[in-house]
Amino acid sequence: MKKKAKIIIFIVLILGIVAYIYVQATKPLELETVKVVRKDIVSDFKESANLVSSDVVSFTPSFSGEVLYITKTGTKVKAGDLLFSLSTDSLESKKTELLAQVDSLSGQEKMSKPSLFSSQIRSADIAIENAKGMVARSYYSIA
């Protein structure tokens, strides 16, 4: 009897599964419809994005200085726009220092070269003439 009850339960279970599959297969499909409305097609659009260059250019200035201005990230720039500015105060003071050294060296160069004035040349000529005269007088006095 237990065996008969198990077979009946198994057959009822199989019939239930077959009935469920049949109901699902014959059930009508549910569709959602949308009404089509005529509209104009937009031919342009606006897009914003952050671009990352594939060619990154790095450089190091030949002097150090305070950053006076730097363009913020994301700012739109055109060719020729100023991207940053450095203070040149240290360069200006170095330039002034070097110009002063050049002036000092120029003065030292002028002082190291003897410069003869016309009066010194005339005095040397007179001394030569006097020496010649003394030589000539001593020559005649010996003879």
pLDDT digit string, tens, across residues 74-126: 788 888 888 888 888 888 888 889 888 888 888 777 777 666 677 777 888 88
pTM of the model: 0.34
Distances (CA, A) of 9 to 1, 14, 15, 81, 113: 12, 9, 10, 87, 132
pLDDT digit string, tens, across residues 116-143: 677 777 888 888 888 887 777 776 556 5
**Structure-model confidence comparison of residues 98 and 59, the more confident one:** 98
The answer to whether residue 75 is domain-embedded is no
The answer to whether residue 135 is domain-embedded is yes
The answer to whether residue 116 is domain-embedded is yes
Distance CA 95, CA 85 (A): 19
- Our count of domains for the chain comes to 1
